Amino acid sequence: MNKFDKLDNFTMDLLDHLFSGSDDKSAVQTYQVSSIQELFSKSISEDLTGNIVDLFQVLKKVRSKHGLSPMAFNLSREDLSGLALKHQDIDEHQVSIGGRVNRARPIVEEAGSRVDWYLEQKDVSAPSGIELWDRIEDNHSRIRQILGMTDKDWNSFSGQLKFAIQSLDTLGRILRLPPKAMEEVGRVTRSYRMRLTPYYAGLIMPGSLEDPVLLQAVPTGEMVDNAGIEIPPVAADHSPARLIDQFYPRVVTIKATNMCAMYCTHCLRIAHIGKKDRIYKSQAYEEALDYIRRDSRIRDVLVTGGDSFMLPNEMIARILTELDSIDHVRVKRLGTRIPLTTPQRVNGELLDILDKSNEKKPLRVVTQINTAQEITPVSREAFKQISRRVSAVMNQAVLLKGINDTRVKMWKLCETIHEAYVRPYYIFNCSYRNPQFAHLRVPVEKGRDIVESMYGNISGDAIPRYIATAGGKIPLHRSNVVGVEGNELILRKPWSDEEVRYPDPAPEEYARKDFAFEKYREN
Ligand SMILES: *Cc1c(COP(=O)(O)O)cnc(C)c1O
Ligand code: SF4
């Protein structure tokens, strides 16, 4: 048996191709000779695959560009066959040179073209708060000065809350918005709460009416003007006990507070949040815990709000201790957006409480980050500290028009949070229940295009599930979309086969460019 019989067809094809070129030495440039001969001698002397791959790649290039065979460089078929054998002998998986050079490398190159556009655009069209940090720090020192905050105020949660921007007047001192927009904010905030901590307000890039943080935090006229049927709050259908929401037999949520450090313009719980901060009676928590104690099917309890980190530390500790003492409760979750809106809240005492509860039974933190701009070095550090004390930190993003409804923005969001110790978990199609934020809705199909575009292009564990909330969370896989009637989808609940109607935003509504702050643009 000839020793070259060990060469596979890919390699034989590659060699045939190379040696089908011309051996006319006069067509050869001297620099080509020296670089090829240098690669050849390195391939012989060193036990590395890289030199051999480089040599074959160069030979392939001069064959296709100049029509030259290796013979033009005094390399025989026997020389190259020998190197081909050496290559597969060195390689741990006996990959042939033909496979590597003619197959794997072109396949990787081809795949690269699927992400190169993203790599070019991601830091330009969807910069993270880490990339914008210099500008954010400038905003922070400006805001701090305007509000007259001391270091202590700035660095404490109570200071951030005390100086939170809640009035039109304060907003006007911090952000320059068109007069018409300010008028509208004034009108809307008579009916809905606005609150931005000074830290979070600093994430807004001044001068842009399309800023994704501005759009999330400062309400616009649509919030009161959007006509439409107000659908009764989820609680009417799904609250079997005081403070409790329940969609599933084994998971419940405790809406432990109606307060948040900032109020989102797209808040799903807007009805529950109400118009002013409330302190709940301790009997309310007792009754909620009692409900959980009595139903041994419940194994997973999500403490949410509002924002669960608005509760004082001793309250969080108490609720977690109670839950840990219930035998059938096996895992707990805390829902909070505070690590990104007010990372100053994440102090040692809180971290110890999380750690202690996680020691007993797994504790997870569920957050809501909607744009890479919300991740700064400070919030990333807060998530890092939290992630060391809990069993997982997971993100539920809401798909929002103008905020994260393009491939580049959503890929960038998922990668940025993945790099900030947070696992992308859900992307919610923005609910149709509340007309207040109908202008921020994105069609189901558009969201599916964005989520499906991630497969194969970003890490699998940075890809979230795409969900419609319609009396439970329905994954928007094609198999759950059982029909379309005009503008409504018919969705199937996978757990009960029940069908529900799910209105999509009207295409012409989604196509409108003059929404939110854009409509106040002055030409
Ligand atoms: C989101 C939510 C849950 C949790 O759902 P998972 O799919 O388990 O993450 C449970 N109950 C209510 C009321 C919810 O809104
Ligand atoms: S953090 Fe959650 S509960 Fe609070 S305003 Fe935003 S969406 Fe609503």
For ligand 1, residues with CB inside 6 Å are 245, 247, 251, 253, 302, 473
* Residue to substitute in 193, 267, 338, 368 for testing ligand 2 pocket (most ligand atoms within 8 angstroms of CB): 267
How far from 255 is each of 228, 243, 269, 297, 436, CA to CA, in Å?
Answer: 26, 5, 10, 19, 21
Q: Ligand 2 centre and the CA of 521: distance in Å?
A: 27
The whole-angstrom separation of Cα 201 and Cα 194 is: 12
pLDDT at position 306 = 93
pLDDT(144) > 90 = yes
pLDDT at position 80 = 98
pLDDT at position 274 = 82
Residue whose Cα lies nearest atom 7 of ligand 2: it is 267
Q: Ligand 2 centre and the CA of 4: distance in Å?
A: 68
Which ligand is closest to the CA of 261, given by its number?
Answer: 2
- Residues contacting 268, CB < 8 A, separation 6+: 398, 428, 431, 433, 434, 469
pLDDT band at 2 (very low <50, low <70, confident <90, very high): confident
Q: 230 versus 114: which is more confidently predicted?
A: 114
Query: How remote is the C-alpha of 396 from its chain's centroid?
Result: 8
pLDDT at position 232 = 66
Per-residue pLDDT tens digits for 509-520: 999 999 999 999
The whole-angstrom separation of Cα 454 and Cα 403 is: 18
Tell whether ligand 2 has an atom less than 6 A from the beta carbon of residue 407: no
Contact call for residues 212 and 373 (beta carbons, < 8 A): yes
Which ligand is closest to the CA of 342, given by its number?
Answer: 2
Say what the pTM is: 0.92
Q: Ligand 2 centre and the CA of 263: distance in Å?
A: 6
pLDDT at position 317 = 98
Per-residue pLDDT tens digits for 32-87: 999 999 999 999 999 999 999 999 999 999 999 999 999 999 999 999 999 999 99
pLDDT at position 522 = 85
Contact call for residues 433 and 468 (beta carbons, < 8 A): no
Q: Ligand 1 centre and the CA of 395: distance in Å?
A: 13
pLDDT at position 271 = 80
pLDDT at position 235 = 64
Tokens of 465: 């599930």
pLDDT band at 3 (very low <50, low <70, confident <90, very high): confident
* Domain boundaries, given as residue ranges, for the chain: 3-112
Rounded to the nearest 10 degrees, what angle do helices 30-45 and 49-66 cross at?
A: 150
Per-residue pLDDT tens digits for 159-199: 999 999 999 999 999 999 999 999 999 999 999 999 999 99
For the chain, give the mean pLDDT.
Answer: 95
Produce one character per residue of 248-266: b if its CB has 16 or more CB atoms within 10 Å, e if not. eeebbbbbbbbbbbbbbbb
The whole-angstrom separation of Cα 143 and Cα 174 is: 6
Residue whose Cα lies nearest atom 2 of ligand 1: it is 253
Per-residue pLDDT tens digits for 271-313: 888 888 999 999 999 999 999 999 999 999 999 999 999 999 9
Residue whose Cα lies nearest atom 3 of ligand 2: it is 306
The whole-angstrom separation of Cα 304 and Cα 319 is: 12
How far from 480 is each of 474, 475, 492, 500, 506, CA to CA, in Å?
Answer: 8, 7, 5, 10, 21
pLDDT at position 233 = 63
Tell whether ligand 2 has an atom less than 6 A from the beta carbon of residue 305: yes
End-to-end Cα spacing for the chain: 82
pLDDT(473) > 90 = yes
pLDDT band at 506 (very low <50, low <70, confident <90, very high): very high
Q: Which of 59, 66, 48 is nearest to 18 (CA)?
A: 59
Q: Ligand 2 centre and the CA of 260: distance in Å?
A: 6
Per-residue pLDDT tens digits for 396-453: 999 999 999 999 999 999 999 999 999 999 999 998 888 899 999 999 999 999 999 9
pLDDT at position 320 = 98
- Beta-bridged to residue 245, according to DSSP, are 253
Tell whether ligand 2 has an atom less than 6 A from the beta carbon of residue 316: no
Q: Ligand 1 centre and the CA of 58: distance in Å?
A: 57
Q: Ligand 1 centre and the CA of 132: distance in Å?
A: 33
Q: 250 versus 456: which is more confidently predicted?
A: 250
